[in-house]
């Protein structure tokens, strides 16, 4: 009986201690929950403040853009003037009535992260196909083809995509899909532009680019020597030569024969350039820094002369991950397909008339 009584006393004491411990733990959990809610509120508040700060920075950069990155070289200007006098067909005759220019970036959409840090993804710049073409890396021979944007966004593996093996590997990120054909730069030998028919998987034509001692066209993208671009006017080639290694050159291409119709020496420097595209006959060069900062269009060269460089909008692109290895303008959709450190991004552009700039 004494042991039973002792057991009851110990059980009662243990029950009391257990109840006290349970109440203590509940109190600690309640306190931890309150502290977690407070920390969550502080984190959300900090995120709101950071987002507001980024919008303010974007606004300030828009209101106070950097000066155009164009060096005034009197010798170069005299040379260009003399060359212009010698050429009879210096002024470009526009093929369309396109008179728009970029006003700002209206929206940015990050689709996914796919492949290497450098590459190209794009649609057909001239056709109506919704296919997505993906070029992974700066030296390869296999193109991934997704039937629509939805499949490219949802599928994480390349096994869902069709594959096109090219007869020659490419180099750089200057490729372009235009009117059912792939235009790309052959990796080996002289800089040769290959025209590849996507329907019957054959090489239609090729042309050795008539520019001696070529150098990388963009200072921050040393793997690209020729950038093939398309706009409302047709096909263009953006390149650089040793003869004028400071600045970027532009040429108008015949998409049928790959012949060069006209060439220009632009005032846009190669230094700190990462990408470029053409809109309504105007070359837009995107600049950055070697320590990645905000990308911006800081030099515009209009071949028709209707848009003065000092009147062009210096467009800033929203925050990104690293540096653009490619930016492909779609004249049909008025948006840019960009590859940024392995992320595929769409920039939707706000346009306005050149005379209203």
CA distance 344 to 87: 42
Check residue 229 and give its pLDDT. Answer: 96
Check residue 320 and give its pLDDT. Answer: 67
Task: Indicate the CATH number for domain 94-353.
Answer: 2.120.10
pLDDT tens, residue by residue, 102-111: 888 888 898 8
- Between the alpha carbon of residue 314 and those of residues 19, 57, 103, 105, 170, the distances in Å are 70, 15, 8, 11, 32
CA dihedral sign of residues 169, 173, 174, 175: positive
Three-class secondary structure of residue 73 per DSSP: coil
CA distance 78 to 265: 13
pTM: predicted TM-score of the whole model, two decimal places:
0.75
Looking at residue 222, the DSSP 8-state letter turns out to be T
pLDDT tens, residue by residue, 147-169: 999 889 886 667 778 999 999 99
CA distance 117 to 138: 9
Closest CA to 123 of 317, 277, 336, 284: 336
pLDDT tens, residue by residue, 216-252: 999 999 999 999 999 999 999 999 988 888 999 999 9
Check residue 70 and give its pLDDT. Answer: 38
Six token digits for residue 225: 């020597």
In the sheet that holds 119-122, the strands lie side by side as: 119-122, 132-136, 139-146, 162-171
Q: Using 70 as the pLDDT threshold, list the residues of the chain that sit under it.
A: 54-55, 57-91, 155-157, 211-212, 291-292, 308-311, 319-320, 355-357
CA distance 117 to 347: 18
286 has which bridge partners?
275, 297
CA distance 248 to 352: 25
CA distance 167 to 141: 7
Burial 189-208 (b: 16+ CB within 10 A, else e): eebbbbbbebeeeeeeeebe
CA distance 334 to 352: 12
């Amino acid at each position: 009986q004494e042991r039973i009584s002792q057991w009851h006393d110990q059980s009662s004491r243990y029950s009391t201690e257990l109840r006290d411990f349970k109440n203590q733990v509940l109190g600690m959990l309640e306190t931890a929950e309150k502290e977690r809610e407070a920390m969550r509120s502080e984190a959300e508040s900090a995120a709101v403040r950071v987002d507001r700060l980024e919008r303010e920075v974007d606004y300030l950069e828009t209101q106070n853009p950097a000066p155009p990155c164009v060096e005034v070289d009197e010798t170069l200007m005299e040379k260009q003037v003399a060359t212009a006098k010698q050429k009879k067909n210096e002024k470009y005759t526009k093929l369309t009535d396109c008179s728009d220019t970029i006003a700002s970036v209206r929206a940015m959409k990050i689709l996914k992260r796919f492949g290497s840090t450098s590459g190209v993804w794009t649609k057909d710049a001239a056709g109506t196909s919704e296919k997505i073409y993906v070029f992974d890396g700066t030296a390869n021979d296999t193109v991934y083809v997704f039937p629509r944007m939805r499949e490219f966004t949802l599928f994480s593996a390349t096994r869902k995509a069709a594959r096109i093996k090219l007869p020659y590997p490419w180099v750089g990120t200057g490729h372009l899909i235009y009117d059912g054909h792939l235009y790309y730069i052959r990796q080996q030998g002289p800089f040769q532009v290959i025209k590849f028919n996507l329907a019957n998987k054959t090489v239609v034509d090729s042309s050795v680019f008539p520019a001696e001692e070529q150098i990388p066209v963009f200072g921050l993208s040393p793997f690209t020597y020729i950038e093939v671009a398309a706009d409302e006017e047709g096909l263009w080639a953006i390149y650089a030569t040793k003869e004028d290694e400071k600045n970027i050159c532009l040429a108008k291409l015949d998409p049928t024969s790959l012949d060069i119709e006209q060439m220009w020496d632009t005032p846009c420097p190669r230094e700190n350039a990462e990408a470029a595209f053409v809109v309504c006959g105007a070359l837009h060069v995107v600049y950055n820094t070697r320590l990645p900062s905000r990308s911006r269009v800081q030099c515009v060269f209009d071949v028709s002369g209707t848009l003065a460089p000092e009147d062009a909008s210096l467009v800033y692109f929203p925050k990104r991950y690293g540096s653009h290895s490619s930016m492909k303008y779609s004249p049909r959709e008025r948006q840019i397909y960009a590859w940024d450190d392995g992320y595929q991004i769409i920039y939707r552009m706000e346009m306005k008339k050149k005379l209203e700039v």
